Chains A and B, each alone.
Chain A
Amino acid sequence: MQKTVSLTVNGRPVSATVEGRTLLVQLLREQLGLTGTHVGCDTSQCGACVVHVDGEAVKSCTLLALQAEGRSVLTIEGVATGDTLHPMQEAFRNNHALQCGFCTPGMVMSALDLVKNNPNPTEREVREYLEGNLCRCTGYHTIVLAILEGAAVMRGEAPPANVHGAAAE
């Protein structure tokens, strides 16, 4: 059964015809062409699909598209301002917090949610918060550093000393 769903995605109003069983992640990826949100599992465990719905982090594989009716969805494509990366994205880059990049959109969306609720997290809190996001490449070491740096910059503080001393090219 087909229905129309209307919602705001990355600040833009959109409507699409979906089936009752269509998941939000399918709507985003397959109908709206927003392929930055990824699917890494079929048991709601990996977090590759995390987006924000009305400001809250949600695994978009667990929500039906129709449940997003009238709501505001932010995906990874909407995080940067024009070509300027968000401080959290910048921190991921500074700290080499991504390798293959597959988990990265979900990680960034989760990190933003964490910092919204806890602007000054400890390393332990970051690790515990990331419980729902799997990364197979980085061992999380640099993701944790990136989130601590991103949080600091978002608080308006100078970023902590970068362990790699990463150089702009």
Chain B
Amino acid sequence: MTTVGAPVRRREDYRFLTGQGTYTDDINRPNQLYAYILRSPHAHARIDGIDSAAAAKAPGVVAVFTGKDMAADGVGGLPCGWLVHSKDGSPMKEPPHPPLAIDRVRHVGDPVAVVIGETLAQAREAADLVEIDYGEEPAVVDPAEALKPTAPLVFSDVPGNLCYDWSLGDLAAVDAAFARAARIVKLDLVNNRLVPNAMEPRAAIGEFYRATGEYTLFTTSQNPHVIRLLMGAFVLHIPEAKLRVVAPDVGGGFGSKIYHYAEEAIVTWAAGKLRRPVKWTAERSESFMSDAHGRDHVTHVELALDADAKFLALKVSTIANMGAYLSTFAPCIPTYLYGTLLAGTYPTPAIYVETKAVFTHTVPVDAYRGAGRPEATFLLERIVDLAADELGIDPAELRRRNFIPADAFPYQTPVALQYDSGDYQTTLEMATSAADYAGCEERRRAAMARGKLRGIGIATYIEACGIAPSAVVGSLGARAGLYESAAIRVHPTGSVTVMTGSHSHGQGHETTFSQLVADRLGIPIENVEIVHGDTAKIPYGMGTNGSRSLAVGGTAIVKAMDKVIAKGKKIAAHLLEAAEADIEFADGKFTVAGTDRSKTLGEVALTAYVPHNYPEDLEPGLDETAFYDPKNFTFPSGAYVAEVEIDPETGRLEIVNFTAADDFGNIINPMIVAGQVHGGLAQGIGQAVLEGCVYDKATGQLLTGSYNDYAMPRADDLPSFRLSTHATPCTHNPLGVKGCGEAGAIGAPAALTNAIVDALRPLGVRHVDMPATPEKLWRVIQQHRSPLAAE
């Protein structure tokens, strides 16, 4: 019986529920040392000198290393994996990023030296004895400020702090459309900076084996092979065959554990120098100042409409904060994962977007759940709502009038992407009816009678997932391919080990992939074992990001199973003395078509490994590897409806309803999919009303550096969610799946902000920037002289 489509309980849960997960910090290696990293307390300063003599002599200290030590040993800088070109064809500015700062620190938290001790306490205490002579210099943290001619420079050879000035789309067509528009709607908005905050802090253990010259790095990573490639080839110059990277159980990533971080290189290099394992685990305050942040855009957007309220053209200008250095995938986020999504769910014929990426004295910014797509969705769904307001049209109606019709697929957008499938009318209809959108006016009046402001907001979204077709992304500047790998090892007695290049850090691959394999091979789920996260065990894989695991990694598994079945047919044909073309495989059995003569997968496997009676020209064994490079992105889409009530006296906001209707294509485990949506929604809601990373503009200090200052969503901040799904299968992968990991974080900020603005509309409010905290809402209400408050 197939379990595909069933809410199978997760196979990984038992170990996590009994405290038997193995996260990186749970691992201890014999004779291990501990690293404590000294970080810059300044946003911008020269390093005029480092005196580590006293620290080196402190009890238990084995070594103190600085950036100069690493550079002298030939250690390279942390590489960037994506090259973006400016409008004028010039390549982006790509300044060096040493693992330990050498002569200058560029953000609070920039690593400067590492103290390595017998115990962590000894290393930490000795760190106080390291004397660093800083020459403080002025800093800039705001991306718009960084472009001003008077702004302090992050790199002396990067004028104007401009990393690149990129554009996409047909400006002339957009300008022509604006010239004949019946109405133009404009908005300035900010997409607030976020700190990803996976609950497991990053950690890394480097180990060196003297006998073989091999290194092992245990690390909190979403993609161990990517780390092996980047660190081995570019930073430490260790041949890949001598470097094993293990990402064991990982406690959440959300993008922040994709990148190659300095600490990984530091502990691996130090382990080689000291011939002992070296362990580092971030304290949460270090996570805040060293994990790559997300978002941080300043945007101006204009939408042109014709007299029938059809969208004619969209023009977007964005300044995107890169932080102090280029993180691994940073340059592609506010460009190819952002500008290409600006058609959204609409057939807007002309679109132009330009993005200026700037360096500032802040933590590097890179992909965080959604990565570019939440920013695109937010501006698009805000400007559509604003247009509805200015035209006096219901926001649902304006969207309906403009959607790409369900029969228009494949649909080529003017910003490079071709959507393969979708049905935006249906998901909007599902979400609005489940949320009783029509009944909102009455609820608004009832709330008004209680002195509350009630509002409802819609957002639709489209995302490009299943990242990514290698040739396409290669032409856009990616320095890697983004295929996925899988190996299927059928054991002699018919149980199966699946080695996947995808990495699970909460997504439940051990369950979903097992369902998939059990279904196709017709064997019980218990006979399937999923292996991931260890470069010594799995084929070269790109790991998990961009909602790609099932669409790309799952398809690689299907391809490998196809090979297993194809070889199995040859073996079965021999055993059954039939023609290979007559063998059919179903329900775990190879059968001669039209007969009841068959061999089970187990029998065939045993023959493959004990080939006493075996086809002459066939290799023994039943062990196949496949790589899958997708032909296109996948395009999950959906509609969200949020409903809120605001107390005008206090600014306190209550999310009274949150309804989602998503199209993820086919679904293998609906329970896991729902969980992915819940988590995404929580992060999207967090961005909309709670979370914001704040730097002090004058000093560059990180003001939100702990859970006391950075508002994480807690259980009582969030509502229960109402979910539904509708499937238009992906047309170009065999599973028809699209990916579900990021949707919630993409659609929720706009839905919630639209609801908030709707609630405040009676006061004349036209936009509220995120996060809409009670304090901000209270101020906005005061400024607009609330008639309610005045009563």
Contact = CB atoms under 8 A, between A and B. Distances in A.
Contact of B9 (A19, A21, A39, A94): A94
A137 B712 CA distance: 12
Main DSSP-derived SS at the B contact region? loop
Contacts of A126: 715
Interface in B711-733: 712-716, 718, 720-721
Nearest to B22: A35
A104 B199 CA distance: 10
B679 A41 contact: no
B19 A75 contact: yes
Contacts of A48: 199
Contacts of A121: none
Interface string B271-294: 000000000000111000000000
Interface in A59-73: none
B681 interface: yes
Interface string A33-60: 0111111111101101000000000000
Given A102-B200, A136-B254, A167-B8, A38 B23 contact: yes
Nearest to B514: A169
A89 B15 CA distance: 11
A152 B200 CA distance: 31
B507 A99 contact: yes
Main DSSP-derived SS at the A contact region? loop
Contact of A79 (B18, B21, B197, B199): B18
Contact of A40 (B6, B199, B675): B199
B707 A45 contact: yes
B399 to A, nearest CB: 25
A131 interface: yes
B706 A41 contact: yes
B507 A141 contact: no
B721 A141 contact: yes
B774 interface: no
A131 B716 contact: yes
Given A92-B17, A139-B678, A165-B7, A101 B670 contact: no
Nearest to B714: A131
A99 B675 contact: yes
Interface stretch (B244-252, B418-426, B563-571, B585-593): B244-252
A168 B200 contact: no
A74 B23 CA distance: 21
A133 B675 CA distance: 18
Nearest to A10: B19
Nearest to B18: A80
Nearest to B709: A43
Contacts of A141: 678, 718, 720-721
A101 B201 contact: no
B12 A101 contact: yes
A93 B14 contact: yes
B505 interface: yes
Given A36-B21, A98-B17, A139-B679, A42 B715 contact: no
Contact of B679 (A35, A127, A136): A136
Contact of B17 (A104, A131, A142, A169): A104
Nearest to A168: B9
Nearest to B721: A141
Contacts of B263: none
Interface in B3-49: 3, 6-23, 25-26, 28
B671 interface: yes
Interface in B193-218: 197-201
Interface in A89-147: 89, 92-94, 96, 98-105, 108, 123-124, 126-128, 130-131, 133-144
Contacts of A102: 21, 23, 198-200, 251-252
Contact of B250 (A92, A93, A100, A140): A100
Given A42-B285, A100-B251, A141-B721, A92 B506 contact: no
B674 interface: yes
A130 B715 CA distance: 6
Contacts of A136: 197-199, 252, 254, 679, 682-683, 712
B772 interface: no
Contact of B21 (A45, A75, A101, A137): A101
B720 A100 contact: no
A23 B508 CA distance: 33
B525 interface: yes
A14 interface: no
B520 to A, nearest CB: 16
Contacts of A94: 9
A37 B18 CA distance: 10
Interface in B676-715: 678-683, 706-708, 712-715
Residue of A43, A85, A165 ringed by the most chain B CB atoms within 10 A: A43
Given A43-B707, A142-B678, A166-B7, A37 B19 contact: yes
Interface size grouping (class) on chain A: 35 or more
A12 interface: no
Contacts of A131: 714-716
A27 interface: no
Contact of A133 (B12, B17, B678, B715): B715
Nearest to B11: A169
B672 interface: yes
A3 interface: no
A134 B121 CA distance: 27
Contacts of A9: none
B708 A169 contact: no
B506 A137 contact: yes
Interface in B239-259: 249-252, 254
Contacts of B716: 124, 127-128, 130-131
Interface in B484-522: 505-508, 511
A19 B119 CA distance: 12
Contacts of A138: 675, 678-679, 682
B706 A43 contact: yes
B18 A36 contact: yes
Interface string A1-25: 0000000000000000001010000
A103 to B, nearest CB: 5
Interface in A142-169: 142-144, 164-169
B9 A42 contact: no
A85 B18 CA distance: 8
B39 to A, nearest CB: 14
Nearest to B201: A40
A38 B281 CA distance: 12
A164 B201 contact: no
Contacts of B13: 92-93, 98, 101
Contact of B252 (A21, A41, A100): A100
A144 B715 contact: yes
A76 B199 CA distance: 17
Q: Which 3 A-B pairs have the closest CB atoms?
A: A36-B19, A101-B16, A102-B251
19 contacts: A29-B26, A41-B706, A85-B18, A96-B672, A101-B16, A102-B252, A105-B16, A123-B720, A134-B199, A136-B682, A136-B683, A137-B679, A138-B679, A140-B678, A140-B714, A144-B715, A164-B7, A164-B674, A167-B9
